[in-house]
Each structure stands twice: as structure tokens, then as C-alpha cells.
Structure 1
Amino acid sequence: MIQLSKELATIALAVIFLLSFLQPFGIDQMSSNRMLLIMGGTLLAVVSSAVSFAIVKKLFHHDWHDTKGLLIMHAVNIPLLSALTLTLVSWFTWDSFTKAWYCTAGEFSVINYLKACLEVTLISFFVFILQLYRLRNNRLQQELDEVKAINQLLEDRQTDEPENAENEPPSPCVLRGNAKNAILEVVPERIIYIESMSNYADVCYLDNDVLQHHALRITMKQLRENLATYNFLVPCHRAFLVNLNFVASISGRPSTGCTLQMFQVEKTIPVSRSYTQEIHARLL
């Protein structure tokens, strides 16, 4: 409800500015009641927008938080607001709610209504651009807040790690490559990341707290199958597996792809957009 109120307030301010600046619907020809018509038109815009939001959410299951929902809302709102605006202008100009709906010959006509639709569409276009700008900024802020929360959790985890260290040493596993005698015995918990390089894989791990790299002739598919039981080793990119326990920080925006800074290494690991949501969920 609060978000809807903010959205409607934004629409109201935008409509007041556009009506005052563009002065459509014959506002520029009015010597009196100009501001009253502007305020009345703004009120109608807010009411019709609220109704349109409700219709779109009920029938199309969209809201103002996505671009498609905004487009559908304006498509529903333009004909409704045009009818209300034409009726309002008719009352202000001729003291009749219906006269503007008739031509000079006294017969019902849609010409004035179509003209009102064009003017309302122009105003709606500017309002839509403003809403897209706000929507983009809101999404950016949410992404930044999420990254900030993840980094805070990672800092807290670094502080708590010495207290939560396990007493029993973890068991090693054996990675068998496709070449003869291509074997690497490594503790999965000590793997920092694995990078695929054509038919080879670079396994970066710690051995007695010393950083090691081992090139193994093996595909990323085989590595994922061999290490599937270790849920802390997850793909973040088609060419990378990372150990979530070694993630020091995360940077970037989910909409454009993030990067991971790992403990013990200077190399940053890319996170493709297809894996971003899963990585964020695992780190939170």
C-alpha cells in the first residue's frame, strides 16, 4: 500500500507539471478556472491510475514493479482517463458532462474523444518514462543492498570461523583425469576454485596453507559429477566452480553480472547472470 501511494504521488506530480507546461485540453484558452481544471485532471489521473493498477493486477497478474506491468497499466488507463478527462473538460467549458461528446451538428461523435486519447497518450508517455527511470533506480538500489548484505554476512563469517572450526580433518577425494596417470588427491574443503581451460582444468587449492595450482586433463562436466556431493562447490560460470566457503566478498550488480573475490588469491571469479540468483541465495 505504501509503494502504491508513492507511485500514485509520483503520477500526480508528473501530471500537474505536464498539464501546466503543455496545457492540453484547451487549458491554454481558459482565463479562469485554469488551476482548478489542472487539479481536477490530476485527481482523475490518480483515480484512474489506481483503478488501472487494480485491473492489471487482478486480470493480468502484473504490477508497477516490472516494465510489462507498466505498459499494460497505461494501455488500460489511457482510454479510461481520456473519457473521464473529456467529461471533465465538457463540464468546465459548457457546464454539461455530455456536450463535448457531440459534434457541432448535435450528433454523438468520437472525434473529440480520439483527440483526448492522443493528448492523454502524450502525457502518459512522459509519465511512463519517469516510471521506468524510478523502476530502474529502485532495482539498482535493491541490488546494491543485497550485495551489501552478502558482504556483511561474509565479514561476520570470517570473524566466526575460528570459533566454528572442526576438530576432525576432512577426508581427501581423488580426481581422475582423462590422461594416463592424471590423478589429483585433494581435500574438497581446501579447493578454492576450479577453472576450465579447454580440455584441461586448473584446480586451485590449499595444501598445508600453501596455495597450489594443478592442471588436470578433465572436463568441467566430469568435475561437477565427481564433486556433486560437496554442496559448497558450486558453478558460478560455465568455466568456473567455486568454494563458497572461500568467498571473501562480492561486487557488481546482479543484472549485469557479479564478481567474487576469493580468500588467498588475487584472481576475481566472474559470476554469469544465469548463476547470480543462486549464488546470492547460497551466500545469504
Structure 2
Amino acid sequence: MLRSIHHFLNRPVAEDFGFTNQVRQSLLSGVYVFAFVYLFGGGHTDDWSRAGLLALFGLGCVLSTLVANWLVPSLLPALYDEDRWTVGRQIVQVLFVLLCVSVGNMIVMWLLRIGHATFWEMYASVTLIGFFPISVGVFSNEQRRLKRNLAHAQLLNQQLARIAIDPPVTESVMTAKPEPTVAPIVLSSENGRDKLSLIPDQLRYVESVGNYVDVYWLHTGALHKTVLRSTLKEIEATLASHPDFLRCHRAFLVNLRAVSHADGNARGYQLTLTDVPNRIPVSRSFVDTFDARFDTVARSH
């Protein structure tokens, strides 16, 4: 039982804390509050003063939701890491949003000098009204994303055989000469002192780690790592003329021809690379770009 609960709470959930998305979601929340209380809160439906009052509460809901779902995540990006967002975190966030809405309602009531509800009474009523529809909306979106990504992952797996890398090459790296028929790629540090020369098929992926990048490449069937003082953006620019290489995450750039399997989840994809033990994530914001590039590479082989 406890294991099942733990597994459920740690399920990945895709969430977009971007400004545009949160403005849209906040406006929908405000409209929902106005309509729900107007229709089911009692009173006369033709009472314009009541409608105006509820509109103020709806506006307060919009602002409170925007604070909770955009401003706070913007100020605390490490806490709101979309790549580590789970069901458990989402439940806590929903309760936090409702807390902010309750504070907003109390401020509106104080400004208008109305009502005698305590804060906890307000929080209880807001939670009863808002928790279920918010949760249903979030998890409905999560299921749609999950189904979409699972279906796309199946399509990717069907295309993998067309772009798979030939048996691993064993030539090259820093001091070795690359195959004469294949132009090498040269990755260098910011100061140009450290350079790594590779045949394209050797490069598996690049990971950004602080002010450095970890370059993972294959040599004589074994995976090696070289650390360069550089940024993923600079590595991406160096590889811009090679369509097989694509940035798939804020911290990862991958060789599409090294992908041997793709799994889908609510956030995006998890890629398995040939001769690489750990899986590489494709984040939500890169999924469409990844799909388009993968299809292009598959068609070209």
C-alpha cells in the first residue's frame, strides 16, 4: 500500500510555469470562480451589485493564481524544476495556489469591509470549491500528454533502424587521426587550449554541468568522458552543421543516430543510447523540435 502511494506521488507530471500559459490558466480560474459562485452561491441572478462583487473576487483569484503559479516559480526556479515535477509536488502546489487565493479573498473582503469569515474558514471553502476541478484539469492534461508522448515514442522506435549507427568505429580522439573519408568534429574549450577531435559517430551525448560540459564519446567499444570548459550553447553552435546532433534538454545534447530506444512519459521522452548506461531526457519544451529533427534525419538515411 505504502509502496503504491509512494509510486503514485513520484509519477512525473509535466507542468508549464511560463508566463503566457499561466496568464491563460489564471484567467480561466477567475472565470470559474465567478461563474460557480454566481450560479450556485445563492442570491438573485439579476443583482448587478452582486455580480460586480463576484467580479472583484474573480479578479483577486486571477492575481493570486498568477502569483502562485508564475511569480513564485520565477523567483524559486530550483524548487520549481519542471524536469523533477511529480504528482506529489503538484498536489502541494495546488494547496499553495488555494492558500494564495484565500489570502486574496481575505484582502478583497477587508478592502470592502464585508464578511466575518476567519482565514481558515475561507481556506476550507476555497479548497472545497477549487481543489477538485483544479486537480482534474491538471491530471487530465497529464494523461493527454502521456498518451501523446507514448504514441510518438512508438513511432520513433519504428524509425530507429533507419538511422542507427553502423558498428562502432575505433579510430581517433585527441591524438589519433580520423578516418580520411569522414570529416572530424572538433570540440574546444572557451580559451581554445583544450580540444577534442572525434569522428561524428563516436560522439554519444554532451551534458552541461555548471561552467563545464561533459562530452561522452565511444572508443574501442568503451564509453569515455572528456570535460571541457565550455557551454552547451557553444557546443550546439559547433555542431550546427551536423543535423544528427540535437539539443533535447536544457542540459543535454544528443546524437540522434546513437538512439536505440525511446520511452514516453508525461514530461517528454527518455532516450536509451547505444553503449550508454544512463538514459537521456527530452524535455517538454524540446519535444516538437526533437520529433521534427528525428523525422528529417530518418528520411535522409
Bigger relative contact order (CA 8 A; separation at least 6):
2
Please indicate the TM-score interval, normalised by the length of the shorter structure: 0.3 to 0.5
CA radius of gyration, larger in? 1
- Normalized against structure 2, the TM-score is what? 0.45
- Normalized against structure 1, the TM-score is what? 0.47
